[in-house]
Amino acid sequence: MSTTPGAGLDRRELTRLGPVRRAVLLPSFQFWTVLPTLALVVVVLVSAAVGLEHPSANFGTVVTWIVWWGGLLVSFVLVGRAWCLVCPIGAIPEWLQRLSPWWGSRYTAGLGLPWPRRLRNLWLPTALFVVFVFLDNGYGMSNSPRMTAGLIAVLALGAAWVSLVFERRAFCRYLCPLTAFIGTCALTSVFELRRRDPAPCRNACPTKDCYRGNARRYGCPMGEFPGGGLESNLHCILCTECVKSCPHDNIALRWRAPGRDLWAMSRPRLDGACAAAVIVGLATVVPLLALAFLPELRSLLARLLPAGVPPNDPPRLAAVVLVFGVGLGATLGLLHAASLLSRWASGSARVTTRALFTRYAYALIPVGLSKLLADLLDHAFRTWGVLSNVTSALLLDFPWNRVMPERASATDLLGPLAVYGLQVALLLGGLLWSLEALRRTAPGPAADRASGVASFLPIAGLALVLTLASLWTLGSGLL
Amino acid sequence: MRPVLRALLPTAAAVLLLALGIVWLAEGPGATASPADAPTPGTTREVAIRAQAWGFRPRVVRVAPGETLRLAGISEDIQHGLAINDLGVNLQLRAGQVARSPAVTVNLPEGVYTIQCSVFCGLGHASMKAKLVVGSPRAAPGSGAPWIASLLGLAVVVGVAFRAGRPRG
C-alpha cells in the first residue's frame, strides 16, 4: 500500500513548474519564508508580554489563538506541516546549531548528540500536547496575554537549548507540544514530498545525501530518509532540503488524493495512532463531558479539596483533569471495542485487533479536525471584527499594545442558526472523509463483500457517535 | 448477509445507547438551571449571570419587550466574555470581579437571542451559550437542528456502508 511513484504521477508534480522549482531549489528558500513569521511572532510576543490584559483587545492573544490556530487547522488540509517550515521557534535554533541561516557551514555550535532511542516516538509529544491543552482549559492560557507570551518564550528557549545539545531538529520532532498534533493532522494534506523513482535511490546512491547532507546542503532536519521510501507526512515539514541535496534530482513535491496517508501507510505505528485518538477525543468527547459535568464535578470536589483563587483553584483543576481522563479513556476504550468487534465481524484470522486499532485511529482524524474547525468557525462569525479592533489598538501604541481602543465591536456576520448550519456541513464532511478512509482500511477479503461491510459497520458506528457528540455539543446553545 | 447482521445488531444497539447518552449530556445536567426572575416592566432590572467553562447560569434569561436591563456578569474560573450582539453588549468577565453593563433597553422583537462568550476560552468555547428570551415566543427556531443534523449523519454512514466491501481503489 506504499506510495509507488511512476510516470503517471508527473502531471501532479509541482516541482515540474518553473517558478515552484526555482523557489524550492533556492538555497535561502526557508530563510525567506521564516522572516515574515519571525517579524509577526516578535510583535505578538511584545504585545502579549506588555500589552493590554484584555484577551479580546490584545493583538498577541487574538493573533495567536484565533488567527494562528485557525490558520494552522486549515493549513493541515492544504499544506500539511508547512507551519513548521515557517515557524521561527524551530528555525532560529537550527540556524544557531548550523551557524548559518542557509549556506553549508563546516562549523556547528551544537554537541550533535543523537536523540535517545527510547524517546524516538510520539508518546512524549502526545503527553505534552495533553498538558498543553490542559494549560489552556485549566488555567485559561488562550485568554491570558501573559501566559501566551510565557508559552512562546518557553518554547523558544527550550528549542534553542535542545538544538545545542541534540542533532537536527530534535525539539521539533520529539519535544514540541504540538508536533504530535501537527504531524498526525498533516496526514490529511493534499501535498506530499516523495521520491520519484525508487531505482536511483536503491542502486545508484551510496551517499544518501537526502538524509546525511553533503558539503553544500544539509540532510533532512527532521531525520527522515526520503530516498528510503518516505510514505507519510507525519514528520515532513516541506522544508525541501531533500530536493536541494538529492544528487539525482529524484525528490518531487506533488498533489495527491486528500488524506491519502490516512489509509495508505504500510506501517502505521501505535504511538501515532494513540496520538490521533487523543486528538479526536479532545475535540469531540472531552468538550461534551465538560459541558455536562464540569461545574457539578467542581462542586463535588470542593468538599474534598481546599478551594483557591481561580485559576489556581484545586477543585476545578482536579475536575478538569478528571474530565480529560474520563474523556480520553472513553475514546480509547470505544476505539478498542470497535476494533475488536470489527475483527470479529470480519471473520479474518490474519488481522489483529491492535492492527485495526492503529489503522482506524488515523482514519478518524478528519472527525476530530472538523470539530476543531467548527469550534473556530463559531468564534470567527459570532465575534466578527475583533481582528480589526486589535489591529487598531496595536497601531495606537505600536508595538506595546497598551492603549485600549475606544470601542470594541460586538457584531456578528451570521446568526447562530446559520453558523450551526455551516458547522453541521463541516462535521458531516469530516464524517464522510473519515468513513471513506475507514472503508479503505477495514479488513475483509475483496471477494467477500458481506465480510467487508460487516467489519466496516462497528468502526463506522463509532465515527457516527463521535460526530453526534460534536453535533449535540455545538447544538446545545440552540436548544 | 449473516456476517452483516451479526455486526449490525451490536453496533446499532451500542450507537443507539451512546446517542441517547449524548442527547442527555447535551440537554440534561446543565439545562436544568432555572430561568432568571420574572420581568418587572418600568424599572431597570439587574440580571446576574455567572460564567464558568463552558456555560452560563442561568441558561435562560427572560425579559419583556421594552424592558430595561443591566447585566452583571462574573466568572467563576478563567476569563470569559459575555456578549449579546443583538443588544450591543460585550463584557469581559474576570474571576471573582463583577462586570456591569450600561443600562440597555430591549427594543427587540419577541424571539430567542443568543448570549455567548466573546473570549476564546478553550475546548468548549463554541458551546458556551445561553438564551435571551424576549416576550413569549413559541419555540426556539433552531431547537430541532441537532436532530436533523443527526439524521443526516446517519444517512451519510448508511450511504458509505453500501459502498463498503467493494474492492478498494
Query: What integer is the mean pLDDT of A334-355?
Result: 91
pLDDT of residue A479: 57
Instruction: Inspect the interface and report whether the beta carbons of A410 and B145 lie closer than 8 Å.
Output: no
Q: Is the peptide bond before A399 cis (omega within 30 degrees of 0)?
A: yes
User: Among the listed ranges A206-210, A240-244, A448-452, B19-23, which one has the minimum average pLDDT value?
Assistant: A448-452
Q: How far is Cα A282 from Cα A110, in angstroms, rounded to an integer?
A: 37
Q: How far is Cα A327 from Cα A470, in angstroms, rounded to an integer?
A: 13
Higher pLDDT, B55 or A374: A374
Which architecture, in CATH terms, is B33-140? Answer: Sandwich (2.60)
Each residue of A168-209: pLDDT tens digit?
999 999 999 999 999 999 999 999 999 999 999 999 899 999
Asked whether A50 and A401 are in contact (CB, 8 A), the reply is yes
Instruction: Inspect the interface and report whether the beta carbons of B163 and A442 lie closer than 8 Å.
Output: no
Residues 6+ apart with CB under 8 A from B167: A446
Each residue of A134-179: pLDDT tens digit?
999 899 898 899 999 999 999 999 999 999 999 999 999 999 999 9
Query: What integer is the mean pLDDT of A118-145?
Result: 94
Instruction: Inspect the interface and report whether the beta carbons of B15 and A55 lie closer than 8 Å.
Output: no
Each residue of A297-330: pLDDT tens digit?
999 999 999 988 888 899 999 999 999 999 999 9
- Cα of B40 to nearest chain A Cα, Å: 26
Three-point CA angle A214, A219, A221, nearest 5° = 150
Does B150 touch chain A if contact means CB atoms closer than 8 Å?
A: yes
* Domain layout of chain A by residue ranges: 1-267, 268-478
Instruction: Inspect the interface and report whether the beta carbons of B145 and A420 lie closer than 8 Å.
Output: yes
pLDDT of residue A108: 86
Query: Does B34 score more than 60 pLDDT?
Result: no
Query: Does A4 score more than 50 pLDDT?
Result: no
Q: How far is Cα A28 from Cα A444, in angstroms, rounded to an integer?
A: 49
Q: How far is Cα B158 from Cα B8, in angstroms, rounded to an integer?
A: 11
- The helix (H) or strand (E) run that includes residue B105 is strand B104-105
Chain Cα centroid distance, residue A119: 19
**What are the chain B neighbours of A453 within 8 Å (beta carbons)?**
3-4, 7, 161, 164-165
Q: Confidence class of residue B33 from pLDDT cuts 50, 70 and 90?
A: very low
* Domain layout of chain B by residue ranges: 1-32, 33-140
pLDDT of residue A215: 87
Bridge partners of B69?
A: B45, B104
Q: Confidence class of residue B31 from pLDDT cuts 50, 70 and 90?
A: low
Plot region of B140 (φ>0 → left; ψ -120 to 50 → alpha; else → beta): beta
Query: Does B41 score more than 90 pLDDT?
Result: no
pLDDT of residue A5: 42
pLDDT of residue A26: 94
Question: Would you state the torsion angle of the CA atoms of residues B14, B19, B20, B24, taken in this order, to the nearest 10 degrees?
Answer: 140
Q: Confidence class of residue A8 from pLDDT cuts 50, 70 and 90?
A: very low
Three-point CA angle A269, A337, A290, nearest 5° = 90
Each residue of B103-142: pLDDT tens digit?
999 999 998 899 999 888 888 888 899 989 898 887 667 7
| Collapsed DSSP state (helix, strand, coil) of residue A155 | helix
Q: How far is Cα A86 from Cα A34, in angstroms, rounded to an integer?
A: 4
What the block records as the C-alpha cell of A388 is 480589526
A14 burial type by CB count under 10 A (0-12 exposed, 13-18 middle, 19+ buried): middle
**What are the chain A neighbours of B84 within 8 Å (beta carbons)?**
410
B1: nearest CA partner in chain A = A450
Q: What share of chain A in percent tops pLDDT 70?
A: 96
Q: Confidence class of residue B37 from pLDDT cuts 50, 70 and 90?
A: low
Does A146 touch chain B if contact means CB atoms closer than 8 Å?
A: no
Q: Confidence class of residue A72 from pLDDT cuts 50, 70 and 90?
A: very high
Q: Confidence class of residue B95 from pLDDT cuts 50, 70 and 90?
A: confident
Query: What integer is the mean pLDDT of A95-105?
Result: 89
